[in-house]
Amino acid sequence: MKLEAVDIGKMASASDIVFEALRHAIINGELADGEPLRQDEIAGIFNTSRIPVREALSRLEQQGLVRTERYKGAFVAGISIDEVSEIFSFRSLVESNVIAAAVPKIRPETLAEARIYYTEFSTTKDPMEWGKLNRKFHYMLYRDSDLTFHLSIINNALDRIDRYLRAQLTMTDGVPKANKEHLGILRACEKGDAELAAKLTREHILGARDNLVEFLENHRIKP
């Protein structure tokens, strides 16, 4: 099992460190769906006892990234194609509304930052960076909505599907398509056209859903 501590800025408890490390490993697909997460092993990696590990695991279970069975332990929670599809539908609904709320309030600095992430996303060749940059790009366009609850829910939804999306982007040529769509959304925001930004965001996510579902149906080992 490959695990690395993630820098989370402020002084953090051991359980926070373990939580973030496991979260990143799961959303990045470094831990396969169904893989058991042994308390002893993880505690060994971080030189702690099992107590903070258990706390981290129970938090991850609450987030839907891990499932646990009594006396059997914790496992990376894989999700079905139907669930992946549902989460994308949910995202298209919520994110299109959030961007519509953000556009009238969006600040020039925010747009400038979004453009930086757009460019970085379009130029990087490292699949590991795609998820991060894609998130940062979209987040910038949502940020000025100040809808913190919506944003936290969107983040959780992204956590659950990031790894599948990356697998698809790596094996197909979805990145150029995503890029073109990102540019369209960015321009709509720059023009202040909230309705258009919402429409393009909805289509962007629903298109990604359909591509990903097709990809998973062809490539996934049926359970």
Partner DNA sequence: ATATTGAAAATTGGATCCAATATATTTAAT
Partner DNA sequence: ATTAAATATATTGGATCCAATTTTCAATAT
Interaction site with DNA (CB under 7 A) = 13-15, 36-40, 47-52, 54-55, 68, 70-74
Out of 4, 13, 41, 191, name the contact with its own copies by CB under 8 A.
Answer: 13
Coil, helix or strand at residue 3: coil
What is the closest distance, in whole angstroms, from the C-beta atom of residue 149 to its own copies in the complex? 5
We find the least distance from the C-beta atom of residue 51 to its own copies, in angstroms, to be 7
* Residue 97 beta carbon to its own copies: minimum distance, rounded to whole angstroms: 6
d(CA 184, CA 195) in angstroms, rounded, equals 13
Residues numbered 45 to 84 that lie near its own copies (CB under 8 A) are 51, 54-55, 58-59, 61-64, 70, 83
Contacts of 153 (CB under 8 A, 6+ apart): 94
Q: What is the CA radius of gyration of the chain?
A: 18
Partner in contact with 48, chosen from DNA, its own copies, none, beta carbon below 5 to 8 Å by kind: DNA
Considering the rule CB under 8 A, would residue 33 count as an interface residue with its own copies?
Answer: no
Q: Does 39 bind its own copies (CB under 8 A)?
A: no
What part of residues 151-210 is at the interface with its own copies (CB under 8 A)? 152-153, 157
Alpha helix positions (H), 125-173:
127-143, 148-171
Q: Which of 31, 37, 94, 198 binds its own copies (CB under 8 A)?
A: 94
Q: How far apart are CA 212 and CA 136, in angstroms?
A: 21
Tell me the DSSP string of 70-88. TTTEEEE----HHHHHHHH
The tokens for 86 are 């549902």
β 36-37/73-76 pair status: antiparallel
Residue 138: CB atoms within 10 A of its CB come to 23
Residues that bind its own copies (CB under 8 A): 11, 13, 15, 51, 54-55, 58-59, 61-64, 70, 83, 86-87, 90, 93-94, 97, 147-150, 152-153, 157
